[in-house]
Structure 1
Amino acid sequence: MTSYIQQAFIVFVLFFSSLTFAQTREISGSISASGSVEGIHVINRTSYRYATSDIYGVFKIQAKLSDTLYFSSVQYESKTIYISPEMIEKKLVAVQLEDAVTALDEVTIGKILTGDLGSDVDNSDAKRPLDFYDFGLPGYTGPRKTLIENRLGEATAGSYISWGIPPQPNLWKFLNKITGRIKRLQQNNKIEKDKNILTHIKYVVGPELFKYKNLDEDLRAEFYFYCADDENFQIRCTDRSDVEILQFLEEKLIDFKANISSEN
């Protein structure tokens, strides 16, 4: 009888512990890095909750055991961590971010060009690489899709119902819809696209803007994320020329400065 009670007690303790760890809690976090730690995006990819760090790198976010936290910033490498039992118990997480390093393509010095396009083309030793058209094969010439785009395409392929005799439901697509996989992939795809656009803006378009527009260096990262929060960010900046993106940044800079002034 005593042995049975002990076993029942152990089962109860284990069940209660697992139930406790499975509950969502508010976790406080701190981010440390070599530069500004304000405005860093913290995304719970499991429950899709979102937070942003303050000027001291402090943030609060709802999470539970084994949730995945994703840290994204223009000036730092992205980082992913998993919520551990210790983090749940202490309700605290500390993260160190590393500076993002942009590697430049290797430049090979070749022949000196004359400036005469026709002459330079005729004298060039460059040869067009062979592709599938040279062998009479069909092929895809558009931009290469990312892993997330491929997964999203696979999850949403086809219609929900094929209207034949009899009608055939697309069970795979229904399952992806019901489980929320399609929504998660769409959100991850947006995050990835936003990050790629922000990287281009930070290293290419942004420096051109601040050659003739004034904004404190420590406010520029916040400004970039302010632009990314605009509902038309992807529409105005995806597959657009640098001139069009620059025009968008000029418009947002006016609003950003107005907000800064009103806060002060």
Structure 2
Amino acid sequence: MKSFKHFSFLILLLIFQTTTSQSVEMYGKVESSVSVENIHVINKTAQAFATTNKKGEFKITVKLNDTLIFSSIQHIPKKIIVGEKLVLNQAVTIKLEEQINELDEVLVGKILTGDLLSDVENADDDAPINFYDVGISGYTGKIATQSERRLHEAGEFKPKMLLGLLGGGLPLDPILNGISGRTKQLKERVRLEANDELLQKIKTSLSKDFFSVYELDESLRVDFFYFCQEDENFTNTCTNKSDIEIVEFLKEKLVAYKNNLKTTND
């Protein structure tokens, strides 16, 4: 009987050791008083990356003693070590605290002294009336850049404009700008500015977390991002894409970038 119990204990111990030594897919949920969507979940040990959905749910591959980091702009970063209980349960709930950025006290507007005549003289003028004040609709979308406005003013020639010949109203600017190459130059300028804006957005939102998992000397990081930007698929691959998709693109480019460095150094 004792031999049977001893044997059973060894079997259970073997199963436990096998389970905790292998990688498992862990399901988790992040809880917070603010938005829990698009929080970065980083397995620094295994170099795995995931993000939460609108409900704060995520899944990521882990094994015993892996280090998980939870990071977002709205939250205080949190780090946990994957223990035996997490591996066996394959589930975890994480509570994050809101990141409150306190600003130094600033003085806005004039100081009121209590002296009516003095305060009236020092008071700011009324704010200018805008379209909201008079109850009319106005444009509230993205404000066009200078290059976008110039491109709009330059116009673009379209075959249907030739119909204007019949009525004597053929627009000349689009034709002249097309012939001179100005329209093409403005289009390229708009494209480059959009690329720069996209690159800056990626650097701001992903740089810290990406390099916490995939190592690269800090002095090379700016050059690496320009290397990514030069890829002909950069805009299509990264525009309106999830952080996971962009990270996959950056991972591929990082391998190519390091290979280029190695070739250059050799």
Report the TM-score range of the alignment, normalised by the length of the smaller protein. Answer: 0.3 to 0.5
TM-score, structure 1 length as denominator? 0.45
TM-score, structure 2 length as denominator? 0.45
Larger radius of gyration: 2
